[in-house]
Amino acid sequence: MKETNLLRDQKLTDAKSGKVGGKRLFWTFILGLILSVGVAIPFVQNFYKLQQIVSGFIAGNSSLSYTAGRVGIDKIKSYQASLTKETASLGKKLEEFIPKDIYLIINTSNNDFVLMNKREVLRKGKCSTGSYTLLKGKRGNKDQQWIFKTPRGMFKIRLRVKDPVWTKPDWAFVEEGLPVPSARHPSRFDYGTLGDYSLHLGDGYMIHGTLYKRFLGMPVTHGCIRMGDEDLEVIFQAMQLGSKVYIY
C-alpha cells in the first residue's frame, strides 16, 4: 500500500509539473551524448542512482531503509556521500555537453521534440519523421531506389526560409508513377506544401510544416521533420543560423 501511495503521489506531482516528458527526453538525450563520447562505463551505470540522490529519492525509499538496517546506517551514509560527489562531478561534465544557446532535440522513435534553452524546456510536442519506406524506380534505363529515413546526429541550421517553395526531387514523381521532368520544369515547384517556414539542415533535409496534421506523432515522412503550425512558428523564431538540432 505504501508503494502504491508513493506511485500515486508521484503521478499527481508529475501531472502538476507538466514538464516530465521534456525532462525525461532531456536526460535520455544527455545519456546518449555521454555514451557517444566514451565516458567511463561504471560512471554511466550509476547514472540513474545519481539522479535518484539528486531528486531526494534515497531519503524516502523503503528498500534503502531496509538495506540500512542490514549493513548499518553509517555505511549507507558513506555510500550516499560518495555518490553525491560523483553526481557533482557528473554535473560538471554534463555542462560541457549542453549548448549555451537554444537548441532542438528530435526523438525519431517517439516522433516528438523538445525545444531547450540550456536545461529549461521551452516547448515540447509531436512531430513526424522518416517512414523507412523503400521506393524503387527508374530514370531512363537507370535503376534508382530511396530509403525514406531521418538522419541521426548533430546538425546546425543552415538556412531559414519564410513561405518556402518545395523543389520536388525525382522520387516525388516516381512515387506518383509520373515521368521525371527536367531539373527546372515548372512541375518541380510546389507552393504551400512545406507550410509557412522551413529550417534547412543540409542534404535536402528540413524542418517544415505539413498539410497532414493528423499524422503528427507518426513516422510518415520522406526524411524531413514535419511540425504543426504553432510549434513550427515558435521553433522558427527561436532557432537562428547555426543553432543546433540533435536527432536520435
CATH number at residue 181: 2.40.440.10
Question: Burial code of 149-174, b = ≥16 C-beta within 10 A, e = fewer?
Answer: bbeeeebebeebeeebebebeebbbb
CB-CB contact of 227 with 212 (8 Å)? no
Nearest alpha carbon to residue 135 among 180, 175, 169: 175
Q: Is residue 178 part of a domain?
A: yes
Which amino acid would we find at residue 156? K
Q: Does residue 235 sit in the same domain as residue 180?
A: yes
The model's pTM is 0.67
Q: Is residue 104 part of a domain?
A: no
Residues in the chain: 248
Q: Provide the domain count of the chain.
A: 2
17 is in which domain, residue-wise?
Answer: 2-97
Q: Does residue 49 sit in the same domain as residue 10?
A: yes
pLDDT in tens, the chain (248 residues): 434 443 344 444 444 444 556 666 666 666 565 544 444 334 444 444 455 544 554 455 555 555 555 556 777 778 788 888 888 888 777 777 788 899 999 999 999 999 999 989 999 999 999 999 999 988 778 899 999 999 999 999 999 999 999 999 999 999 999 999 999 999 999 999 999 999 999 999 999 999 999 999 999 999 999 999 999 999 999 999 999 999 99
Q: Does residue 160 sit in the same domain as residue 229?
A: yes
